[in-house]
Structure 1
Amino acid sequence: MVRRKSQRVIDIADEQTVLDVDPKPLRMAVERVLVEASIVRAEISVALVDDAAIREMNRRYLAHDYATDVLSFVLDASPEHVDGQIVVSVETARAEAARWGWSPADELLLYVIHGALHLVGQDDAATEQRDAMRRREREILASFGLEPHWESAAGEREREEPES
């Protein structure tokens, strides 16, 4: 059996001034999603932006004129390779973290995991798909020692799912 060397590049572009963000856990989360999806080659960029920037992207690319938490864009993909972009709003993460009693860094981690799962083909349009995606989010968050805030809330958190 020939083992192929992994060629996964994950760039974090911090384009906001809302919070100081440690990129290491974000990069680790994307790497974990890629490994578990058997993605050997990847070029993933993660952009940390404010609400104004994500609103503009949401309007331009999805015709939704509002800020959202996370957007993901697959630029190219095959069974073992993916090139894509994840865009997360640090401003939304800060607001949602305060709402749920979480740290903004943990909320950002959730958004990046969610976006990365979309890049490897997971969807959340239907209830069954959404449940499967939530299970994956829960498992990956647990690997960081985190329990999803929707687990501790009364019932599962109902958040508007981004169209990514």
Structure 2
Amino acid sequence: MSSKLQIDIQFASPAIEAAINQVASNTLLKKWIKAATNKVGLITIRFVNSAESKKMNASYRKQDKATNVLTFPYALDKASLNADIILCLPVIQKEAKVQGKTMKSHLAHLVIHGCLHAQGHDHEISKQALKMEALEIKLLKELGFANPYTPQ
């Protein structure tokens, strides 16, 4: 395995790529990912439409709806990881609007959120959720973003 974190950024279509590039460059996306982990390995981040997100969410989580982020960790140990993070652009855009957040801040939050899931963090149990949220808030603050859990 490489001695650094490799990041592969994919877009399901040119339209999705153009929309994401208006919000965050690949360099900025990589900065957010690197801020969320000090491990080596590979993270693939893929931006998809609602249909692809819904299909994956139904297949892997038995939920028949599109979702903002899906994380698939394949390998994780103390020093390295290998994971895919799927982000659904239409869901993220809708959530940002409904929550009164900028698309950039919401996208940064969900990239961080997916990276933390890739490292074994979870939010199904209240105690774990509080720990994960505190880490998200800390990382986002270091990147210049407001607390995503307080009304904007």
With normalisation by structure 1, the TM-score equals: 0.81
1:100 paired to 2:102: no
Alpha-carbon RMSD across the aligned residues, in angstroms, is: 1.6
| Structure 1 residues 14-163: aligned runs within 5 Å | 14-16=11-13, 17-18=15-16, 19-21=19-21, 22-35=25-38, 39=39, 41-152=40-151
Deviation at 1:70, TM superposition (A): 0.4
Deviation at 1:147, TM superposition (A): 0.5
Distance 1:20 1:123, change over 3 A: closer
If each structure's helix is expressed as a fraction of its own residues, which one has the higher value? 2
Deviation at 1:136, TM superposition (A): 0.9
Say if 1:70 and 1:88, in contact at 8 Å, map to a contact too: yes
Deviation at 1:23, TM superposition (A): 2.3
Same amino acid, percent of matched pairs = 24
Q: Which residue identity does 2:20 align to in structure 1? A: D
Q: Which runs of 5+ in 1 are unaligned?
A: 154-164
Deviation at 1:126, TM superposition (A): 0.5
Say if 2:109 and 2:140, in contact at 8 Å, map to a contact too: yes
Give the secondary structure class of the aligned counterpart of 2:84.
strand
With normalisation by structure 2, the TM-score equals: 0.87
1:9 paired to 2:6: yes
Say if 1:25 and 1:109, in contact at 8 Å, map to a contact too: no
Cα distance in 2 for residues equivalent to 1:126 and 1:50: 29
Q: Which runs of 5+ in 2 are unaligned?
A: none
